[in-house]
Amino acid sequence: MKVGIVGTGLVGATAAYSLLMQGIGREIILVDLNKERAAAEAADLLHAVPFAHSLNIRSGDYPDLTGCRVVIVAAGVGQRPGETRLQLLERNAAVFRSVVPAILERAPETILLVASNPVDVMTHVTAIYAEEYGLPSHRVIGSGTTLDTARFRALLGQLAGVDPTHVHGYVIGEHGDSEVLTWSLTNVGNLPLAEFCRLQEIPFDETIRRDIDRQVRQAAYTIINGKGATYYGIGSALARIVHVILRDQRAILTVCTRRPQIAGVRDVTAALPQLIGGNGVLATFPLPLDDGEQAALQNSAAVIRRAIDELEATM
């Protein structure tokens, strides 16, 4: 099973490392405008193969993506000093305008997994470009709030003193400041979070809840301030999504994909719990949110839609 990664910066390279260490796929192709960088990353990763899993890892160009089941798109440009979010979006949209066709001309039946930020808008843009090549939107997936959900569960696992895999709660909406933590639906071992904490005599009040919300919502800012970028978490999230697709695991993940409407907001791309399998997004599940969460989701979808509107006005 062949996986392509376009863009071999910190996120793309770390995704490749996560795939290697978990033995996901059989062949990994690294593509980058900076061919020297891609070749160096491929060589470094190849030297880790004897300590991990037997995969073939090499650098290449777009023709080498032929036959890829999944292509991770981690390409894009960084924000310049004084540059607005819209200007950054315009430049990244221009990058994708060349990257997406180059991928689909060689791998027309692949699944595109978008990692570039702002991921909701860039996934929407990718779906528009991919549509011109006959690729349906359910085969264009963004990492969405997969990482935010993992952050939420990790922190709740620490609070509850349990393995985070037994914590069930989602972060939905924008991968950004307006994201929505679904506190009303969060449970541990099938018990509502508050009830679990009561039974275990674990302090849990509004102050603790606000602190966890802050840590989830501001995680990227905190990490970037400390070390310049985030990549381990998102690299692992991308590897998980690829694994689900390659194995047709039919897992529910909070990825983003283009939808006719979300919370009353038309034609928008935002994260919701989605059933993922070998053909991409198989189903989307609306959640029974409380009134405050529903209003927050509508606001989050509207934030993304406004960014899309601003970008489309320049395209």
Identify the pLDDT of residue 78: 73
What's the whole-model pTM score?
0.96
Q: Which CATH number fits domain 146-312: 3.90.110.10, 3.40.47.10, 3.10.310.70, 3.90.180.10?
A: 3.90.110.10
The CA-atom distances, in angstroms, between 121 and each of 19, 96, 181, 269, 311 are 25, 12, 20, 7, 9
Identify the pLDDT of residue 79: 64
Q: How many CB atoms lie within 10 A of CB 71?
A: 27
Class for domain 2-142, per CATH? alpha beta
Instruction: Please say if 175 is a catalytic residue.
Output: yes
The CA-atom distances, in angstroms, between 76 and each of 28, 32, 122, 196, 258 are 20, 10, 10, 43, 20
Identify the pLDDT of residue 63: 98
Q: Residues of the chain whose pLDDT is less than 70?
A: 79-81, 84
Choose, from 124, 138, 166, 175, the residue flagged as catalytic.
Answer: 175
Q: Dihedrals φ, ψ of 71, to 5°? A: -125, 120
Gap between the Cα atoms of 258 and 237, Å rounded? 20
Give residue limits of the domains in the chain: 2-142, 146-312
- DSSP H or E segment with residue 301: helix 291-312
The CA-atom distances, in angstroms, between 199 and each of 15, 48, 49, 196 are 39, 46, 46, 5
Identify the pLDDT of residue 86: 74
Identify the pLDDT of residue 108: 97
Identify the pLDDT of residue 81: 66
- Chain CA centroid to CA 41, Å: 22
